């Protein structure tokens, strides 16, 4: 299992019962973390349980058909429109848009699974959706796994965690953050929310 430093955040929630209560009351939740960690599945379950609009950064903002990335200005315009909604859960990390998303966010859930678990999640998802597009991805983006993507997952914590921490401190220092670092913690949270794992 990976060992990585989980630095304290100014508004971190460590008690999952308290976090569950925050989720019950939240109107706008940001779920972020490495690919393959389970953030989309968690987001969709919470969205269904509490009647929140589910927004996938991959499907709704980042990608066009055929794995063509949308222009950054257009991405930002879409996010500006999406965050104006009253009740949503947004699935996706992308620290470059924290300035837009965090001021409208009631709670952040940071899915911080060990990298081997994330690789397993991405590979098993690829096998499940081989030759097809999964629901939380843009149309025409056939599920794929390549060395570049595996390297992205392997180095995510080292390359992106510092950017995430800096973005949280700069754009959402008072937004409560729950970090989930194991499947057990995720299952416990789902149980507390009366959602089947």
DSSP for the chain reads ---------TTEE--HHHHHHHHHH-SEEEEEE-TTSSHHHHHHHHHHHHTPEEEEIIIIIIEETTTEEPPHHHHHHHHHHHHTSSSEEEE---GGGHHHHGGG-SEEEEE---HHHHHHHHHHHHHHHTTS--TTS-TT------HHHHHHHHHHHHHHHHHHHHHHHHH-TTS-EEEE-SHHHHHHHHHHTT---
CATH T-level topology, domain 12-191: Rossmann fold (3.40.50)
Q: For position 7, what pLDDT does the model report?
A: 53
This prediction has a pTM of 0.93
Residue 122 pLDDT: 95
pLDDT the model gives residue 70:
96
The predicted pLDDT at position 197 comes to: 67
Q: Is the dihedral of CA 145, 147, 148, 154 positive or negative?
A: positive
User: What does each of the 197 residues of the chain score in pLDDT, given as a tens digit?
Assistant: 454 554 557 789 999 999 999 999 999 999 999 999 999 999 999 999 999 999 999 999 999 999 999 999 999 999 999 999 999 999 999 999 999 999 999 999 999 999 999 999 999 999 999 999 998 899 999 999 999 999 999 999 999 999 999 999 999 999 999 999 999 999 999 999 998 86
């Amino acid at each position: 299992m990976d060992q990585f430093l989980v630095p304290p955040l100014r508004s971190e929630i460590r008690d999952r019962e308290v976090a569950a209560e925050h989720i019950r009351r939240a109107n706008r939740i940001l779920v972020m973390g490495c690919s393959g960690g389970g953030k989309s599945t968690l987001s969709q379950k919470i969205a269904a349980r509490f009647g929140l609009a589910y927004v996938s950064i991959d499907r709704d903002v980042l990608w066009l058909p055929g794995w063509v990335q949308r222009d950054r200005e257009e991405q930002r315009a879409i996010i500006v429109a999406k965050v104006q909604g009253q009740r949503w859960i947004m699935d996706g990390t992308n620290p470059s848009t924290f300035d837009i998303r965090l001021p409208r966010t009631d709670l952040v859930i940071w899915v911080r699974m060990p990298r081997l678990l994330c690789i397993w999640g991405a590979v098993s998802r690829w096998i499940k959706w081989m030759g097809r597009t999964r629901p939380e991805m843009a149309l025409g983006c056939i599920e794929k796994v390549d060395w570049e993507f595996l390297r992205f997952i392997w180095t995510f914590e080292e390359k992106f965690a510092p950017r995430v921490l800096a973005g949280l401190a700069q754009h959402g220092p008072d937004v409560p953050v729950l970090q989930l670092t194991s499947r057990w913690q995720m299952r416990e949270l789902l149980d507390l929310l009366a959602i089947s794992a």
